[in-house]
Amino acid sequence: MDFKTHVLSNGIKLIHVQAESPVAHCGFFINIGSRDEDKNECGMAHFIEHLFFKGTQKRKAFHVLSRLEDVGGELNAYTSKEDTCIQASFLKDYYPRTVELFSDIVFNSTFPEKAMDSERAVILDEINSYKDSPSEFIFDDYEEHFFQNHPLGRNILGTARQLKKIKQSDILSFIRRKYNTDQMVFASVGNIPFNKLVYLFEKYFGSVPVNIRESERVLFNSYQPFNLALKKHTHQVHAIIGNLGYSLNDPRRMGVHLLSNIIGGPGMVSRLNLALRERRGYSYNVESSYNPYSDTGLFSVYFSSDKEYLEKCMEIIEKEFDNLRNKPLGTMQLKKARQQIMGQLAISFESNENQMLSIGKSYLVYDRVDSLEEIFAKIEVVTASELMQIANEILNKDQMSTLIYK
């Protein structure tokens, strides 16, 4: 992967990969998410993301949306715990249109009161839709308990009560304080010469005033294990079991990714998929996940099953954890585990859109990007003894937290 970078005097960064394709992908990443909100701002970052499309100083909402859709492009966005991203896919001839539109959306949005009222209703409906889906809502509920009394535990969507309180002045204040130019990255994967993209980048982002971040995130260091079972009157039980993981800057995070993939990754041959679904038919949905953050991380296993199989599922999961804690992987097992995760990564990188999202996030967090070969090299050096050491920390029974919907 041959990428090129450029940094403006105001701190906004550009990263680009040349791709011989008629379709290009761009993303504007801002190192701000729900964990950066004050207690009285819950849901603010996500609300702003929605409102970016509701009008600027020179465009009404329809013209924002139609600017790319009229030429067959797509415009989208997301908000996470630690970042916000606006992204677009379009025919390569429309780079100038896209770069200008991104600049207009991020720095010239007007957040009209009427649009705020209508978008509040949309987000409230989004919140309620999650409540109707226990397999999704349990993750937010789990994190609220896991990161109790910390910004990481707050729902990205916010609460109905807090959303109703947000005013236009609150949004403008949040952007002035939190949208810092040294915490922004424009990522591109597409067929445009780098010098032409730099010209567009300078033209539309170069005049943005400098706004350097001075505040630090509130660190999370107050984890207390818990075990909760809540009555939800669902047809199935839903459960999450988890523990602290390593942060984005911890060199052991690659080992956790590998361990998570072995336990319950997307492959049909993951240990829990074989043990719970294929061999016994106890669960249709079982998966493990690892979410690293700037200062901490969360490893978890989720499954759903008929209520009669709950205890059996828990016993099988604990048995698999115990095996990983006490039995090092054999040479062939480790080789297969490495090959599997490397194959998944390679397939993901075949998508130019996925590649754009990956390099944008990496450049935002690390100020650098590893090539696929460098990532593979990091996977190859993870040993069986290291994996077992990680398993004894991450899968420590005494440090596990459990939430069950019965």
Question: Cβ distance 109 to 56 under 8 Å?
Answer: yes
Closest CA to 343 of 249, 245, 256, 261: 261
Q: Which of 175, 205, 235 is the last residue of a domain?
A: 205
pLDDT of amino acid 130? 87
User: What would the pLDDT profile of 108-133 be if each residue is shown by its tens digit?
Assistant: 999 999 999 999 999 999 999 988 89
pLDDT of amino acid 5? 98
Question: Cβ distance 138 to 405 under 8 Å?
Answer: yes
| Integer Cα distance of 340 and 256 in angstroms | 15
Residues 112 and 260 grouped into a single domain: no
Residues 247 and 321 grouped into a single domain: yes
Closest CA to 264 of 244, 249, 248, 278: 278
What is the H or E stretch that residue 120 is in?
helix 113-131
Q: Computed from CA positions of residues 329, 330, 335, 337, in that sequence, does the dihedral angle turn out positive or negative?
A: negative
| Integer Cα distance of 37 and 42 in angstroms | 6
How far is Cα of residue 322 from the mean position of the Cα atoms in its chain? 29
Inside any domain, residue 212: no
Q: How is the beta sheet containing 184-190 ordered, strand by strand?
A: 3-7, 13-18, 184-190, 23-30, 84-91, 74-79
> Which residues fall within 8 angstroms of residue 316, CB to CB, at 6 or more apart?
272, 275, 276, 280, 282
Inside any domain, residue 393: yes
Residues 171 and 74 grouped into a single domain: yes
The tokens describing 398, both together, are 């005494």
| Integer Cα distance of 341 and 266 in angstroms | 10
Residues 252 and 111 grouped into a single domain: no
User: What would the pLDDT profile of 286-307 be if each residue is shown by its tens digit?
Assistant: 999 999 999 999 999 999 999 9
pLDDT of amino acid 250? 96
Residues 199 and 235 grouped into a single domain: no
Inside any domain, residue 171: yes
Inside any domain, residue 210: no
Closest CA to 102 of 46, 47, 30: 30
pLDDT of amino acid 318? 97
Percent over 70 (pLDDT), the chain: 100
Residues 380 and 265 grouped into a single domain: yes
Question: Cβ distance 213 to 258 under 8 Å?
Answer: no
pLDDT band at 267 (very low <50, low <70, confident <90, very high): confident
Residues of the domain holding 52 = 3-205
pLDDT of amino acid 268? 87
- What single-letter DSSP state applies at residue 60? B
pTM of the model: 0.94
Q: Computed from CA positions of residues 84, 86, 87, 92, in that sequence, does the dihedral angle turn out positive or negative?
A: negative
| Integer Cα distance of 318 and 186 in angstroms | 44
pLDDT of amino acid 135? 92
Q: Please, where are the H alpha helices in 132-229?
A: 134-146, 160-163, 168-178, 194-205
Does 233 have pLDDT greater than 90? no
Q: Which residue has the tokens 């896991």?
A: 146
Inside any domain, residue 218: no
Question: Cβ distance 245 to 298 under 8 Å?
Answer: yes
User: What would the pLDDT profile of 209-227 be if each residue is shown by its tens digit?
Assistant: 999 999 899 999 999 999 9
> Which residues fall within 8 angstroms of residue 187, CB to CB, at 6 or more apart?
14, 15, 16, 26, 27, 28, 29, 356, 357, 359, 360, 363
pLDDT of amino acid 2? 87
CATH code of the domain covering residue 337: 3.30.830.10
User: What would the pLDDT profile of 136-154 be if each residue is shown by its tens digit?
Assistant: 999 999 999 999 999 999 9
pLDDT of amino acid 131? 84
Question: Cβ distance 15 to 5 under 8 Å?
Answer: yes
Residues 400 and 290 grouped into a single domain: yes
- What single-letter DSSP state applies at residue 56? B
User: What would the pLDDT profile of 323-367 be if each residue is shown by its tens digit?
Assistant: 999 999 999 999 999 999 999 999 999 999 999 999 999 999 999
Domain total in the chain: 2
Tell me how many degrees the CA angle 15-17-21 measures, rounded to the nearest 5: 140
Inside any domain, residue 62: yes
DSSP symbols for 311-379? HHHHHHHHHHHHHHHHSPPPHHHHHHHHHHHHHHHHHHHTSHHHHHHHHHHHHHHHSS---HHHHHHHH
Inside any domain, residue 219: no
Does 1 have pLDDT greater than 80? no
User: What would the pLDDT profile of 35-84 be if each residue is shown by its tens digit?
Assistant: 999 989 999 999 999 999 999 999 999 999 999 999 999 999 999 999 99
pLDDT of amino acid 320? 97
Residues 277 and 129 grouped into a single domain: no
Residues 37 and 171 grouped into a single domain: yes
Three-state DSSP at 231 gives coil
Tell me how many degrees the CA angle 293-224-306 measures, rounded to the nearest 5: 85
The mean pLDDT value for 189-206 works out to 98
Q: What are phi and psi of 13, to 5 degrees?
A: -110, 150
The mean pLDDT value for 364-383 works out to 96
Residues 197 and 55 grouped into a single domain: yes
Inside any domain, residue 295: yes
Alpha-carbon dihedral angle through residues 230, 231, 237, 242, given to the nearest 10 degrees: 0
